[in-house]
Structure 1
Amino acid sequence: MVNFFSLLPLAVAVSLDSFGVGVAYGVRRIHVPFWSLAMITLCTALTLLLSVFTGEVIVALVSPEVTEAVGGGLLVGIGLLAVLNQIKSQMPPREKPYAPDLSPQAEQGSNDHSDLNPLKIIPQILASPDAADFDQSHTISIHEAFFLGLAVSLDSFVAGIGIRLLGYSPWLIILTMALMSSAFIYVGIRLGMMIAGRPWFRQLPYFPGTLLIVIGLHRLF
């Protein structure tokens, strides 16, 4: 039980990106049905399973002192990247010279997702969560939820390795973080319209990265 409660702050920090996705959907009135949430949970769980397995291999090869240091270092690194990315996103974009795209793909429109290449789609979703709504129906279908689940679980992969190296139970990591990720999307959608206009909400994206840095430093020292 103590292990579970000490894992909660880590799970919250990693899952707050999912909360941000949910808020974005709530503001835009994008609906995520139950089975789509289930698909997101499954994608996150499978990603965590792979990351925990990687952590198990490292634990078997390296001493406990080193694994805890590496785990704390990974969390600090993830937190720093999250904060830096948020700072970068607040900067005004550079203006690019206009160059019309006359390719056949451009004539079909920018929302053509006939080529569902994860390497192309996932970066778009990370930059703008509503890009997962391929058909702009304001409802995330199961196949759209698959790509959304892959996108929101990327941070969980590295974090899962780091958390496993800190000694937490593999199945506790998978169950807690997978369910919390989907729960935060749901809660974010419900609360999106209520809090999106509040001034303090603009600072919330810095919180998960800062929390991971604090927890990682605590484990290191």
Structure 2
Amino acid sequence: MISSIVTMVALAVAANLDNAGVGIAYGVRKIQISWVANLIVAVISGLATLFSGLVGRFMSHYIHPTVAVYIGAFVMFAVGFWIITEPYRQRRKQRRDRQKSNVIGRILDDPSVADFDRSSTISLVEATVLGIALAMNAFAGGFDAGVTHLNLSVTAFFVALFSYVLLGLSAFFGRRYAARAMGDHATLVAGLLLIAIGIHQVW
């Protein structure tokens, strides 16, 4: 039971470390995130976790439990590696043609892009787009929770909770102290944490 809770919390943290980087970036730029906008982002992350978890749970009914665990671990490895190499891929993409990069990639590269109207406040529509961008990590965590038969409702709740707390606190931290340390390393830490979860599952 305790091990399952630790795994669910670790998945939630890994899914939301990018939120910390985004929050700091917004805080430094004095872009306001209301509690409603923050809640929208959190709900989207929670729903993404639940949806991908149901997909993983459905698949687990048709494959051997051991195989399901390895599939979940592989997903963690793959997504973790993808996240770690994202900054390098983004830099290459920018060099080719920055204007042609998709909205999600541009937001993850520069969170202020989500403030489409440059009002220094994230509107509800902008929060929805931001939530979709930040929910990408949640899909991997939810799928892993599904194939390993973790409690999907609790996992989705943890993901939504950590999303709300990390985005809000990091925005305050960035605004108050103008610190970029976590923002610079959030992507690397998130990727390594997902890989560590995958190793834990097959160890």
Give the superposition deviation at 1:220: 1.9
Unpaired stretches in structure 1, ≥5 consecutive residues: 97-109, 111-118
Letter in 2 for 1:22: G
- Number of positions where the alignment pairs a residue of Structure 1 with one of Structure 2: 199
Q: Secondary structure at the match of 2:117?
A: coil
Q: CA RMSD in A?
A: 2.5
Q: 1:207 aligns with which of 160, 182, 189?
A: 189
Q: Distance in 1 between matches of 2:118 and 2:57?
A: 41
1:139 is matched with 121
Q: Distance in 2 between matches of 1:188 and 1:52?
A: 27
Q: Which moved more, 1:211-220 or 1:135-144?
A: 211-220
Give the superposition deviation at 1:94: 3.3
Q: Which moved more, 1:159-168 or 1:59-68?
A: 159-168
- Deviations along 1:54-110, one digit per CA (max 9) or x if unpaired, are 0121121112111111111111111111111134456795377xxxxxxxxxxxxx9
- Deviations along 1:26-76, one digit per CA (max 9) or x if unpaired, are 110111101111211221222222111101211211121111111111111
Decide whether the 8 Å contact of 2:15 with 2:135 is kept in 1: no
Trace 1:1-221 onto structure 2 (pairs within 5 A).
Answer: 2=2, 3-89=4-90, 94=95, 120-193=102-175, 194=177, 196-197=179-180, 202-221=184-203
Percent identity of equivalent pairs: 28
Letter in 2 for 1:86: P
Letter in 1 for 2:5: F
Q: Distance in 1 between matches of 2:180 and 2:125?
A: 31
Decide whether the 8 Å contact of 2:72 with 2:144 is kept in 1: yes
Give the superposition deviation at 1:192: 1.5
Unpaired stretches in structure 2, ≥5 consecutive residues: none
Q: Secondary structure at the match of 1:123?
A: helix
TM-score w.r.t. the length of structure 2 is 0.87
Q: Distance in 1 between matches of 2:126 and 2:191?
A: 27
Q: Secondary structure at the match of 2:126?
A: helix
Q: Which has the larger radius of gyration?
A: 1
